[in-house]
């Protein structure tokens, strides 16, 4: 993203060199945010699969529709973690057909 010279001058005058340089180092695209969200999702998935590796579990499949009549397949998994029963969302995928 191109920043005009007047805004760079205002940052420099109002906040000084140090702060202006810190502002310049902040990425202006959403790519780093999207990458971070993907990293967090992958970590959560690995943690859940690690918990399921040596445990008995049950799976529940469900279909849901949104207000646009788009259908989705949802899979939940239930397992015992210590003394409590845990239910987690395993996956959510769109179904190509429209619901009626």
Q: Is the pLDDT of residue 36 over 50?
A: yes
Q: Containing domain of residue 13, as a range?
A: 1-53
Residue 16 banded pLDDT, cuts 50, 70, 90: low
3 and 19 share one domain: yes
51 — pLDDT class (breaks 50, 70, 90) = confident
pLDDT attached to residue 23: 66
Structural domain tally of the chain? 2
Contact 76, 87 (CB under 8 A): yes
Say whether both 99 and 61 belong to one domain. yes
Question: Mean pLDDT for the chain?
Answer: 78
In terms of domains, do 68 and 93 share one?
yes
Question: What would the mean pLDDT of 35-55 be, rounded to a whole number?
Answer: 87
* pLDDT interval class at 71 (50, 70, 90): confident
Burial class (CB in 10 A: 0-12, 13-18, 19+), 69: exposed
Based on the fold, state whether residues 11 and 40 are members of the same structural domain.
yes
């Amino acid at each position: 993203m191109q920043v005009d010279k007047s805004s760079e001058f205002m940052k420099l005058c109002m906040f000084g060199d140090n702060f202006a340089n810190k502002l310049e180092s902040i990425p202006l695209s959403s790519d780093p945010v999207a990458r971070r969200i993907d990293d967090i999702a992958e970590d959560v998935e690995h943690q859940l699969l690690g918990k399921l590796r040596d445990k008995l579990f049950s799976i529940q499949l469900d279909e849901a529709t949104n207000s646009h009549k788009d259908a989705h397949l949802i899979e939940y998994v239930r397992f015992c973690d210590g003394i409590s029963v845990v239910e987690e969302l395993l996956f959510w995928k769109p179904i190509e057909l429209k619901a009626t």
